[in-house]
Amino acid sequence: MPQNGRDIGWWASWERQVLIWVGAAVVVFGAVAWWLPRGSGVLELVSDDTRKVLTFSLFKVGALPVTPIFLVKGLIYLGVLSLVSATVRRALYRRVEQKTTLGAQHSFVLARFAAIVVYTLGLMIGLESVGLNLNSLAILGGMLGIGVGFGLQPVVANWVAGLVLLVEAPFRIGDRIDAGDTSGVVVRVGGRSTWVRTYDNEVIVVPNSEFTTKRVTNWTVNDLKVRLRIEVDVDYGSDVEKVKTLLVELAGKHPKVLPDPAPETVLAELGDSALKFYLRFWTVIEAHDNYKILSDLYCAVLDTFCKEGIVMPYPQQDVHVRSVDGPVQVVGAAGRGQN
């Protein structure tokens, strides 16, 4: 996506120089054509040997001979067409961004699509004007379709997915996302792939098709606040209200826990061997990860519960044996069997 500074100062870039030279060439050729006698061409100004070189047929495209003068005209036409499409893109981008409620990304997509349409139409008009039969392009399109069907289908799928991501914008550069086994910060959204920098400073290149076919969690699409939780198991004989009060107080003492919304503790489940509590709290999403705040709270819970005498039991299971056929052998500490 173009930057605002570049869009504002594009007139001072290299495109200005190219546009000036193309405009000067058009003016010169127009003046020469104006002063030439009627029925004469620009080639009448050069010698016979130069005229032969410029009109020598290098090869043919169908029935159309390709000459050096044809190549020069084609390059000039393509240069002017590129400048026109780029000018349309920049002008439309600024116009749409200023006059509508669309964001910068959607404005850029609309302007880029309009520039592609202008360039394609201009190219087709130019090919038709020189007498090239465009029906031959249908054969090329069929061959391309076969190639896509056999070998280029994943590449095309990623490019189409990149266009979908650009239009819908489920995430932007700088957002923190979780996609499958990949978690990190988006650093680049390309046409074929997206770069995600993990919290270990690794850059993982993810094909765009994975973002359109799988679930993606965006932690920062709304704002930087997120609600986290930790799970705490206590013994069935514990004081429930005391446990809830202690957990809320521990969360409130942590500097990175937001006071509004206030942290809360809920009894989530009556487990097989323990009461399961959830301590839920709000914090600001970190640029790396939030394991540090979870670790701090877990350590504080262990220390406080140990001082308060609150038991955090191990998972346990009672086994009741109703009947056994035959004697039962019991192994003692010395490893000797007894009946």
Distance CA 170, CA 28 (A): 51
pLDDT score at 224:
81
Q: Which two tokens stand for residue 324?
A: 């056994």
Contact 61, 140 (CB under 8 A): no
pLDDT score at 135:
64
Return the DSSP state at 100. Answer: S
Return the DSSP state at 315. Answer: P
Distance CA 177, CA 197 (A): 10
pLDDT score at 151:
65
pLDDT score at 76:
76
Query: What pLDDT, in 10s, does the model give residues 77-116?
Result: 777 778 888 887 788 777 776 766 666 666 676 777 778 8
pLDDT score at 231:
93
Distance CA 287, CA 98 (A): 32
pLDDT score at 301:
93
Distance CA 100, CA 88 (A): 17
pLDDT score at 149:
63
Distance CA 127, CA 130 (A): 6
pLDDT score at 50:
63
pLDDT score at 12:
44
Distance CA 98, CA 85 (A): 20
pLDDT score at 75:
79
pLDDT score at 317:
66
Q: What is the CA 7 to chain-centroid distance, rounded?
A: 22
Alpha helices, DSSP H only, in 36-67?
48-54
Per-residue pLDDT of the chain (339 residues; tens, 9 = 90+): 444 444 444 444 555 555 666 666 666 655 555 444 544 455 555 556 665 666 666 666 556 666 777 777 777 777 777 888 888 778 877 777 676 666 666 667 677 777 888 888 887 777 777 666 666 666 666 666 666 666 667 777 887 888 788 777 788 888 888 888 888 888 888 778 888 988 888 899 999 888 888 888 888 877 788 889 999 999 988 899 999 999 999 999 999 999 888 999 999 988 888 899 999 999 988 766 678 889 999 999 999 999 988 888 877 666 666 666 666 666 655 555 555
